[in-house]
Amino acid sequence: MLRGIDVSAYQSPSYDTDGLSFVFVKATEGRSYTNPRLAAQAKRGRDAGLVVGFYHFLWPGNLTAQAEYFLSKAPDRPGDILAVDWETTGEGTHASNAEKDRFLRRLKELRPDNRVVLYCNRSFWLNVDTTSYAGDGLWIADYVTAGKPRIKAAWRFHQYTDDPRDKDVANFASKAALLSWAKSA
- Known catalytic residues are 6, 87
CA–CA dist 168, 184 (Å, integer): 22
| Helix, coil or strand: residue 116 | strand
Q: How many C-beta neighbours within 10 Å does residue 89 have?
A: 14
Give CA 92 to chain center in angstroms: 21
| Helix, coil or strand: residue 7 | strand
Q: Give the closest residue to 140 by CA, choosing from 157, 163, 115.
A: 157
Strand partners, 48: none
Which one-letter amino acid corresponds to residue 20? L
CA–CA dist 185, 182 (Å, integer): 6
Q: What is the 3-state secondary structure (H, E, C) of 41-70?
A: HHHHHHHCCCEEEEEEECCCCCHHHHHHHH
Measured in residues, the chain has a length of 185
